Structure 1
Amino acid sequence: MSETTTAVAETSAAAIGSKATLTGGATSAAGFFMGIDWMGWIGIGVAVLGLVINLYFSWQRNLREKEIHELKKRKYMGGCDVEQD
């Protein structure tokens, strides 16, 4: 998969995770205020799932940025032949 395709996929997944977290929180609050317990629990589940998706993609982005940082350091120190786009 190309670098651009990977970036687009990760960005869209992170956006979906954010929307899932917000939707889950709103559903949970609405369910508890209306007295529909199962709706509240489903909302909490969706919110937690959205949080997990966000954490995973943040972790992946951190690893990628750390690798890029290390390559740039090696390039500046003259340790590798990396071409920058």
Structure 2
Amino acid sequence: MANHPEGIVEAVGASVANKGMLVGAATGFFGWLSQVNWIGIAGVAVAVLGLMVNVYFQARRDRRETAESAAKIQALREQCPR
């Protein structure tokens, strides 16, 4: 869970990625409103980078949770009498 070092790193990474996407989107919108192309392009680039980091950390979380779930199911099977 989140008490393990990997879980902490993934939680922080996902949080930073989400905030990066928001900042990038806001910057892109500001650039579009002000019609300054480089601000809009920079905002879109930050948003895309944030999205890629978010997808990476979500995939890691999904793999970790699948492995934890399989381990819990195996432990329960071992506890059940046959």
TM-score, normalised relative to structure 1: 0.84
**CA RMSD of the aligned region, Å?**
1.4
Q: Percent identity?
A: 31
Q: Which residue of 1 aligns with 2:68?
A: 68
Task: List 4+ stretches of structure 1 deviating above 3 A.
Answer: none
1:44 aligns with 2:14: no
Distance 2:63 2:24 in 1: 28
Deviation at 1:6, TM superposition (A): 2.0
Q: Which residue of 2 aligns with 1:15?
A: 15
Q: Which residue of 2 aligns with 1:28?
A: 28
Deviation at 1:48, TM superposition (A): 0.5
Distance 2:26 2:6 in 1: 30
Greater shift, 70-79 or 33-42, is seen at 70-79
Contiguous gaps of at least 5 residues in structure 2? none
Distance 1:72 1:35 in 2: 55
Greater shift, 62-71 or 3-12, is seen at 3-12
Deviation at 1:5, TM superposition (A): 2.3
Contiguous gaps of at least 5 residues in structure 1? 80-85
TM-score, normalised relative to structure 2: 0.86
How many aligned positions are there? 77
Give CA deviations for 1:19-40 in whole Å, capped at 9, x if unaligned. 1000000000000110101110
Distance 1:9 1:72 in 2: 23
